[in-house]
Each structure stands twice: as structure tokens, then as C-alpha cells.
Amino acid sequence: MFLRYSADRRTLFVVGVWVTVELIAWQRVLDASALTAGLFVLACVGSFQGAVAAHNAIHCPVFARRRVEHVYRCILTLVYGHPVSAFVPVHNLSHHRHLESSRDVMRTSKATSRWNLLNLLFFTARISGDLWRAELRYLTFAWHRRARWRRQLLGEVAALVPSLIVLAVLDYRKFLVFVVLPHLYAAWGIVTMNLLQHDGTDMELPHRHSRNFVGPIVNWLSFNNGFHAVHHAHPNLHWSRAPAAHERLSAPHVPAELIESSLLAYVVRAYVYPGQRKRYDGAPVPVRIAGRDSDWYTTHTPQPEAGSPPVAR
């Protein structure tokens, strides 16, 4: 009656597991036991999955009833550690509409280290200030123009901030281990996933703007976010339909070099050994100054940054 797609039972299960892990963690004495370490790992993985679930909910609502969806996004905000509505400006309006141009706040040209492993580890930290500024700029722009978005954002903030304060006061050490660090991992994970999917791809030609990870483990953990080309082509497609859509719409056209069977194997090859930053066709990725972010929420034509190819549509 409530779910728009039955596959989101898995999403609710993951959220429920995270809540259970947190309840158990806060009832135990913080020590150096294997159980504490296991709870910490589960909290990190659950927060990352919460970030992906938040991304999915922004593209395709989970519940048929708006009020239930509102409450659900407030819960996802607690799991992820950041207001879900913040995905709208920096992801939907910036990244999706202006992929890899100067109006894409998350463009991979901001990864400027010649040692590629440092790009993997610190790309999120490199663009975090840009993301915050973009969110605040959109908040100023949309406060009186997007009333529904504003109300949703205020509800999420009202759920998140008091919860963080209460948990920090109750036990600052558990707050650090089971809340702050997992939330930081979730933010690092979902932004780094964007780097893996777009760095070294080609915006000039269709079907070549995204790297696809088709392994079963990464797609179970990320709700099929590995099938990324079809996600950009059809952003409102429910995540459960991504594998079939990938086989039908993307796989026949995407170069084999942009389809990876293992995310881990790709990370080792691209960032550890030999660790060379290359395009999918083998050419080196030039390191250049990314330049300032252009206004992405206005209606003028996007201007690519200097030296970058035209933006894929």
C-alpha cells in the first residue's frame, strides 16, 4: 500500500539494521573488543548505504504518500548524517544537468594530485568546501522560491541537529565512534564513488561519460549504483530496474573499457599499482586547474571549463 516499488523492502531492511546496530552500540560499554569493532564497521557500511538510499529517494521517491516520504527522508538524514534535501542542488541540479562542466560542483578535474592514490583518498576533502558553499548559495536562492524544498529541508535539519546534540552530550566517545566517523565515511564513500565513475571518461561522446561497475557485491551494497551510465541517461529510473536497463540500453553502446566487473580490482589498478591516472582509452588524464564553479541553478547556457570537452547531454 505504501511502497511505490516492492524492491525498497531491501532499503528499509538496511535502514532497520543501521538503527539496530546503533541501539546495540549505545547500550554497550565502549571497549577494544571484536564486537565493538564489528559494530563500528556495520555503522560505517550502514551510513554509506543510507547515503546511497538518500540519493535514490531524491531521484525516485520510495513511498506513495508524501507525508510518509517526508518522515522517511528525515530518518535517512539521521542515517546519512546530512540533510537528504541537500542532494537536490549539488547532485540533481549541478552534477546531473551539467556533468563535468564548470557548473558541476563535483567535477573530477578538481582532483589535481599527480599521485593518483591521493586523489582517491582526498578528493572528498578537496571539494567539501565547494559542496557546502553550493548548498548555502542554493539555500539563499531557493528560500522564497522553493517552498516545498524549504519545508522538507527544515524538517530534516530539525531531526538531525537535536539528535546529534543529545548523543554528543550522552557519551562523546560513542558519539565520535558510532556517529561522527560513520557519517564521515558515508560522505567520503558516496563522493569518491562519483570520482571512480567519471574520472577518465569522455563527455564528448554519448555512452562514454560514466564508468560502470557491474559486480554483484558493490551493486548490492550500493543499490545498483554501479550501473551508472543508464542512471545518468534515466535518472528517475528506480534502482531495482537499473541492471535490466543497463543490459538493454547502455551495454550495447558503452565501450568495454568502461565496464568493470570488480570495483576493487579497478581501484587497485588505477590508484595503487600501477596507479596511473588514465582515460578509459589509455591516454593520460591531464592535470589542470579546475577553475571556479559557475552558477548552475540559473538558466543560462553552461560554459565548459577551459580545455574540457563539450558537456554530454
pLDDT by residue (tens digit) across 125-136? 999 999 999 999
pLDDT by residue (tens digit) across 82-102? 999 999 999 999 999 999 999
Q: For 147-161, what is the mean pLDDT?
A: 96
Tell whether 96 is covered by a domain. yes
Tell whether 245 is covered by a domain. no
104: pLDDT strictly greater than 80 = yes
302: pLDDT strictly greater than 50 = no
288: pLDDT strictly greater than 90 = no
pLDDT by residue (tens digit) across 43-56? 999 999 999 999 99
Helices vs. strands in the chain: H and E counts, helices first: 12, 2
Largest CA distance in the chain: 57
Count of all residues that appear for the chain in the document: 313
- Confidence at 1, pLDDT banded by 50, 70, 90: low
Tell whether 45 is covered by a domain. yes
Which residue range forms the structural domain that includes residue 92? Answer: 8-204
Tell whether 81 is covered by a domain. yes
Tell whether 97 is covered by a domain. yes
In this prediction, residue 309 carries a pLDDT of 35
Question: What letters, b where the CB count within 10 A reaches 16 and e where it falls short, cover 270-304?
Answer: bbeeeeebbebeeeebeeeebbebbebbeeeebeb
d(CA 48, CA 45): 5
Average pLDDT, the chain: 92
Tell whether 79 is covered by a domain. yes
Q: For 21-29, what is the mean pLDDT?
A: 94
Tell whether 149 is covered by a domain. yes
The fraction of the chain above a pLDDT of 90, given in percent, is 87
How many domains does the chain fold into? 1
Query: Which secondary structure element, helix H or strand E, spans residue 259, and what is its range?
Result: strand 259-260
- Confidence at 300, pLDDT banded by 50, 70, 90: very low
292: pLDDT strictly greater than 90 = no
Tell whether 298 is covered by a domain. no
pLDDT by residue (tens digit) across 208-235? 999 999 999 999 999 999 999 999 999 9
